[in-house]
Structure formats: C-alpha cells, structure tokens
C-alpha cells in the first residue's frame, strides 16, 4: 500500500482528501497482491461539500449555450479516444474483464460523449400552430439542477458516461459515486473532464461505500435527479428515497435474460451468441444471457456444442490478449456464484460443464470460476428465477412456440431477450410478444448501441431509459411557451368557440 498511488475526491475542481481522513484499497481481482490504487473513504460531509459545489456551479453552467457545452463534451470525447488504451488497461486491472472488453467499455464512453456533444445543437422542441390568431406556441427543454449518480462496477466508464453526458448537455451539474470496486475509471474520467475544460463544480466525485453515502446523495433537497444502476433491492430503496420530494429517478436494475433457440436456427451462430452472452464479462452484465429456451429437436446437439466450446474458453488475467474470460469482481461475487452452483445441483438440475473455482498457479491470487452450464432446468428452480450475475447458464426445452414465449416471459425482470430463427414470421411474433426493453434477432442478449434507448420492463427499471435521445427526458423538463403578439387578451377555449 505504501507504493500505491493515492487518489482523492474531486470537488469544485480540486482533488481533496475525505473529511474522514480514511482510505481504502482497490485491488486487482485477477491478482489481489496488486493494489491498483488507494481511494478516499468518504462521508456524508464530503457528499454535502460536493453538492454545495454542484449547486453553485449550476447557476452558471445552465446558462452556457447548449452548443458550447457540446463543444466541451466533444473535447472530452476526443481525449478519451486518444487515451483509450491506457484507460482500458487501468480498467482491466481494477475490474478484471478481458482487455478487448474494456476497450469496448471505453469506446462506449467515447461514443456516448460524441453523441451527446451533438445533442448540444439538437435539443429539439416543437412549434405548433395556435388556435388563436397572432399567437406563437413552442416547447423547450430546461435543466433540473444537481444530479446524483450511483454507478456499478461492471461497466466502470460506459455506465457513468450514460448518466453524465446527457445530464451535462442538458445543463445540469452532478455528483458521482463510483462503485467501491472500480473507482479508478471514474477518477480517470474526472481528470479528463477537468483537463478538457469542464468548469469547476460542474462534475464532482466522491468515493466510498454506497451504504455510507447513499442517503446523503439521495436526500439532499438540492438534488433533483438520482440515477442508479444496480440491484432491484437497492433500486427500490432509491425510488422510495426520491418519492417524498418528487425527484426524477432513473433506475437500471436486474435481469434474467433469455435466448430462444428454434429448431430452424443456425446452431453454430446460436452457440456463438450464447457463449458471448452468457460468459462475456464473466456473466457480470445485467443483459447477460442466463437462460436458454431451446427447441427439443435441437436441444441435445446444441448442448453438446455449448459444452465443447464453453469448456475450452481460456480463463485468466484480462491483460493477456488471449484470455476470453476474466475473474469475478471480488470474493463475495465468487461465493455467490459457487452458492448458486450448489443450489442448482441440489435443486435437481444437471450440471454438464464447469461449476468449480479455478485454483493453482496463476489462479490462486484471483477470483476465477469455470464457465458453468446446467440442463434439465425447470421454471420452479432458483437458478431459473434468480439473477446470479456470474458465468452460469440454465437451459430448458420447449415443444410449441407459444410455450417458448411463455417461458421467456417467466421472470420478474424484463431487460433483454433474443431469438435465433430463420423464420421471419416467428421472429416478428417474438419481437411483439416477449416483454422486454431490448430484443435481438439472431444476436446475443448483449451488445446495446448508444443511439438506441437502453432499459427494461417490470422489475428491471422504472420506465425511464438511458442512452439515445430518450435519456434527455430524465435530465430535463419540458416547458411550453406561448407568445401572444396580438396586443390584446386572448382567452384560449373561450374566445375560440
């Protein structure tokens, strides 16, 4: 720890220590001997200072013309692009996923920032004819104020960018608390914002645990938007905390995503999709493929192909370019995954590959587990119902397509789903009838793009969306403007009878 770099909070354009005087270590999940950095163990006082800063900065930032705000974001995006490799390597060191994936994570932040920079010149309202003569009607967006962001560890720069960039382009200021497992990527993002011209106080970062800081981030009356990505359990508490003061809340929560494999599917393609969907990011994605609903006629062949491919995936340190799956994020997540493997076995499912912690040699210092597949899974089993957030895939069969749709919808969540078929009619039926916020045809359940809305139904979210122009509605409110140039009082609905 003595040799590790110490990172401070970022408040009002300054890097400052926590009022607590305490710190915590951020360690590499592939090699826990490596301390990636030392970060501030912040308190409610630090959060208050950050909100003070954001509230003061809002007075000027909201008046900066949106195109000028966009120019600053463009510079931020260009800097992220320039530094992409270094940022990606830092992310792999603190989060563990394969370097190709962290490059994708940083690229998503680049894409989102460029996209929202463009929205500085495209925050379109509408004009509409008045029902009265000599009167002009239009709508404009207006910012809300201070935003609080609580972000997860699985996409340490992409998800913060989903929240930060639309908030900033709309004219809001913000305080972000990154996950305790991955604060370095957000610290790197703050540094880029600072050096590329975002004014002091507009972006602020405090590090520490959500349990210690959550109430302070949510309950301050000056905070008008809270955006949270994480578990449904915590998301429900965030929603309850926002309700008394009618704050905007954007909640992205759990998923139990399904891939339907029809009898006419190109099996090699379906296997590729399932492998990437289930084991990409070690299954630690809210959109990860955790259920397969496979037609009975192709089930055995599909399973055989999946087992062959999954058992050969190379697991290891994500900085190794040849590694296909990195470690889990921490000991707690490893324990959770192994507990669900046990639950699956005891519940009557058949484990056909994986299920073991990887140990020995390079694995002894990290949180590694084998890609795991269960068959003979029924809808009453916990591994069918509950989000595991690890590389555990459950497979069941269907005979009739209506049954496949029913099984796909058999979850409290509704984030992502996919179907593999060559029948266009069947594909469109699934697009219509599977109740999720995201749907793919002949593609995995993962792979969202920044210019389409991201979010889910049921207990996955609260109806809002991130990314694309849909997210602007989270960070702005509509104002209807009426300009009467008649020179006299005109009473709508009264004088127009």
**Percent of the chain's residues with pLDDT above 90:** 98
Which position among 147, 242, 262, 286 bears the catalytic label? 286
CA 357 to chain centre: 27
- Phi-psi bin for 315: left (phi > 0), alpha (psi -120 to 50), beta? beta
Instruction: Answer yes or no: is 76 within a domain.
Output: yes
Q: For 310-352, what is each residue's pLDDT tens digit?
A: 999 999 999 999 999 999 999 999 999 999 999 999 999 999 9
Tell me the whole-structure pTM to 2 decimals.
0.96
- Let me know if residue 176 belongs to a domain: yes
In-domain check, residue 269: yes
Q: Is residue 21 part of a domain?
A: yes
Q: What is the per-residue pLDDT for 432? A: 98
What is the CATH number for 131? 3.40.605.10
495, pLDDT greater than 90:
no
Considering the domain architecture, whether residues 244 and 263 belong to the same structural domain is answered as no
474 in the same domain as 375: no
Helix (H) or strand (E) holding 232: helix 232-242
- One-character DSSP codes across 91-159: HHHHH---HHHHHHHHHHHHHHHHHHHHGGG-----EEE-SSTTEEEEEEEEE-SEEEEE--SSSTTHH
pLDDT of 79 reads 98
Task: Label residue 377 by pLDDT band (50, 70, 90).
Answer: very high
Question: Is the predicted pLDDT of residue 428 greater than 90, yes or no?
Answer: yes
Q: Per the domain annotation, does 247 fall within a domain?
A: yes
On whether both 247 and 309 belong to a single domain, the answer is no
Position 487 in a domain: no
Residue 287 lies in a domain: yes
Q: What is the CATH number of the domain that holds 306?
A: 3.40.309.10
Same domain, 210 and 63: yes
- Given the residues 101, 108, 252, 459, select the one marked as catalytic: 252
Same domain, yes or no, for 99 and 189? yes
Task: Please compute the mean of the pLDDT values over residues 216-242 and round it to a whole number.
Answer: 96
pLDDT in tens, 359-374: 999 999 999 999 999 9
> Are residues 271 and 244 part of one domain?
no
Residues 268 and 119 in one domain: no
- How large is the C-alpha radius of gyration of the chain? 24
Q: Identify whether 252 is a catalytic site residue.
A: yes
Residues 307 and 240 in one domain: no
* Same domain, yes or no: 465 and 355: no
What is the rounded CA–CA span in Å between residue 222 and residue 58? 11
Q: Is there a single domain that holds both residue 204 and residue 87?
A: yes
Read off the pLDDT of residues 436-491 as tens digits, 9 standing for 90 and up. Answer: 999 999 999 999 999 999 999 999 999 999 999 999 999 999 999 999 999 999 99
Tell me which residue has tokens 């705000």. Answer: 69
pLDDT at 329: 98
DSSP secondary structure string, 265-303? S-HHHHHHHHHHHHHGGGG-STT-EEEEEEETTTHHHHH
Domain assignment of residue 168, given as a range? 9-253+461-480
What is the model's pLDDT at position 2?
A: 54
| 166 in Cβ contact with 118 (< 8 Å) | no
Q: How many domains does the chain have?
A: 2
Average pLDDT over residues 90-117: 98
Q: Considering only CA atoms, which of 409, 405, 415 is closest in space to residue 459? A: 415
Domain assignment present for 212 = yes
Are both 59 and 85 inside the same structural domain? yes
Provide the CB-side half-sphere exposure for 140 (13 A, CA): 8
377 and 344 in one domain? yes
């Amino acid at each position: 720890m003595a040799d590790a770099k110490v990172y401070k909070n970022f408040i009002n354009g300054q890097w400052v220590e926590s009022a607590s005087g305490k710190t915590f270590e951020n360690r590499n999940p592939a090699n826990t001997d490596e301390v990636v950095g030392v970060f501030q163990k912040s308190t409610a006082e630090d959060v208050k200072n950050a909100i003070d800063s954001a509230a003061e900065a809002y007075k000027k930032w909201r008046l900066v013309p949106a195109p000028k705000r966009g120019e600053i974001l463009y510079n931020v995006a260009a800097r992220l692009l320039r530094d992409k490799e270094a940022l990606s390597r830092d992310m792999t060191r603190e989060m563990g996923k394969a370097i190709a994936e962290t490059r994708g994570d940083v690229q998503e932040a680049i894409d989102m920032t460029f996209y929202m920079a463009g929205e500085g010149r495209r925050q379109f309202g509408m004009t509409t004819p008045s029902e009265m003569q000599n009167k002009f009607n239009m709508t404009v967006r207006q910012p809300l104020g201070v935003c609080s962001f609580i972000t997860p560890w699985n996409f340490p720069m992409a998800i913060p960018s989903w929240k930060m960039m639309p908030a900033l382009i709309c004219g809001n200021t913000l305080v972000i608390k990154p996950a305790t497992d991955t604060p370095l990527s957000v610290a790197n993002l703050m540094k880029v914002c600072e050096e590329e011209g975002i004014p002091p106080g507009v972006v602020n970062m405090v590090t520490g645990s959500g349990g210690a800081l959550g109430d302070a981030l949510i309950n301050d009356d000056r905070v008008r938007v809270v955006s949270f990505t994480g578990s449904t359990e915590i998301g429900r508490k965030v929603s309850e905390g926002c309700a008394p003061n009618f704050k905007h809340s954007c909640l992205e929560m759990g998923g139990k995503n399904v891939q339907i494999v029809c009898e006419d599917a190109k099996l090699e393609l379906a296997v590729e999709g399932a492998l990437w969907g289930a084991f990409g990011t070690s299954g630690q994605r809210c959109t990860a493929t955790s259920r397969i609903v496979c037609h009975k006629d192709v089930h055995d062949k599909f399973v055989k192909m999946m087992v062959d491919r999954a058992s050969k995936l190379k697991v290891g340190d994500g900085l190794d370019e040849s590694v296909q799956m990195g470690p889990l994020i921490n000991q707690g997540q490893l324990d959770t995954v192994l507990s669900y493997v046990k639950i699956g076995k005891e519940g009557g499912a058949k484990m056909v590959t994986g299920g073991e912690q990887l140990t020995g040699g390079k694995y002894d210092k990290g949180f590694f587990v084998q890609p795991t597949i269960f068959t003979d899974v029924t809808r009453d089993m916990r591994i069918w119902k509950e989000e595991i957030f690890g590389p555990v895939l459950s497979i069941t069969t269907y005979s009739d397509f209506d049954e496949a749709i029913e099984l796909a919808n058999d979850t409290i969540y509704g984030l992502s789903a996919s179907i593999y078929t060559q029948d266009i009619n069947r594909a469109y039926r699934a697009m219509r009838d599977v109740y999720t916020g995201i749907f793919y045809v002949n593609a995995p359940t993962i792979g969202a793009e920044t210019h389409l809305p991201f979010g889910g139904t049921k207990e996955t979210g609260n109806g809002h969306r991130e990314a694309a122009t849909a997210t602007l509605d989270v960070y702005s409110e509509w104002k209807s403007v009426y300009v009467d140039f008649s020179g006299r009082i005109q009473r709508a609905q009264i004088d127009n009878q």
